[in-house]
Amino acid sequence: MDQSPQGRLIGDPRNAPVRDSGVFRSFPLHPGGPVDVSGIGSFLSVSTATKDRATFELGDGALSIADLRADPVESSRLVCAVFEYLFATNRDLVSVALEGDGWQAFLPALKQRGLLVESTDAQPSVFAEMFWQMPEIWMASPSFVYPRRDVFDGRNEHPLRPPKPAGCLYARFIPWLSGTLSFHVASLDDLPDVHRWMNDPRVDEFWNEAGSVAAHRRYLEHMLEDPHVIPLIGRFNERAFSYFEIYWAKEDLIGPLCGAGDYDRGCHVIVGEGAFRGKPWFTAWLPSLLHLMFLDDSRTERIVQEPSAAHHRQLRNLQRSGFAHMRSVDLPTKRAAIMSISRQHFFSNRLWHPGVVPDEASS
């Protein structure tokens, strides 16, 4: 379905994959605990552990509230759960039109949060690209814009970075894997996994960091102390499978080579567990990692990577995932291809959905 001149919607929510008796479970969605969504015919039933519940109907190209039994706070969580379900399971769905009087109590809050788009000749609508920029849906603790103060670190000037976080940062239910992917700040408790993964020949081919437990302890301690890097452990249903480093690009080696902006970010990746390699996993963790970096600071407009320019399969993977090849440069350890993806491209093209991408282990 093409977008109307009024910008009503592309993709009919009636085509969303509502599954008979299926249950879509999501991580502490909209802080407060998990929300379940089950579909029967054209109806979506939503409930929480506290027995708050609601029923929504998809019909005539719009979403209406058939029944709602919850207090205002819980009602908001149930509504957001339905939006996430629809936008997470239907790649072609650009927006959802809101139909019926049942929405009247929600319209002011949705408008204030920047979710509602109103038009004089169309029903009010919630757009996927706006909804997926709400950090409170997927971030484990509230995200805020850290006040700006420029500092000089001896090499270049950049904004003062916020204190290092701890614990779980982000979680998202992955429909095609029927489980929850989460990112946690690494600690020395993760050393055994990091040590094992670094010594995996497939990982060492890219990272060149194979070594002793003591060496990897020093490595991890350095990452934990470095203000421009946050080391992360990726987990699926709480099982650790990967190590990531997200960094502020302006303070990094590639900052001057890619014209890094003040809030641009980059990432390095290790997928350490072989059972978690392959297209279904790649299309879960990479978009989720990008999503986390864009949500963490609303001023982040671009994310960069610098894989080896000789690693053609990895370059194809990134390009199929939405990255553009900016240039190739010589770094101390490799000739690298500078790859970049923008906030606008990621959200407007709904790149949290899986694309046609093969597997890659690390970068």
Q: What amino acid positions are annotated as catalytic residues?
A: 306
Q: Which two tokens stand for residue 147?
A: 């006040």
Within 128-254, where are the H helices? Answer: 128-131, 135-138, 191-198, 201-207, 213-225
> Three-state DSSP class for 242?
strand
* 3-state secondary structure at position 143: coil
Token pair of 133, please?
């920029």
Distance set, CA 104 to CA 3, 56, 65, 78, 107 (Å): 25, 15, 11, 15, 5
Measured over the CA atoms of residue 236, residue 43, residue 6 and residue 108, the dihedral's sign is: negative
* DSSP code for 93: -
User: Where are the strands (E) in 82-176, listed by range?
Assistant: 95-98, 116-119, 122-127, 150-152, 157-159, 168-174
DSSP lists the bridge partners of residue 36 as 47
Contact 309, 328 (CB under 8 A): yes
Closest CA to 335 of 357, 311, 359, 302: 311
**What is the rounded CA–CA span in Å between residue 11 and residue 96?**
9
Beta bridge partners of 32: none
339 contacts: CB under 8 Å, gap ≥ 6:
304, 305, 306, 307, 315, 318, 319, 323, 324, 325, 326
Nearest to 275 by CA among 237, 306, 244: 237
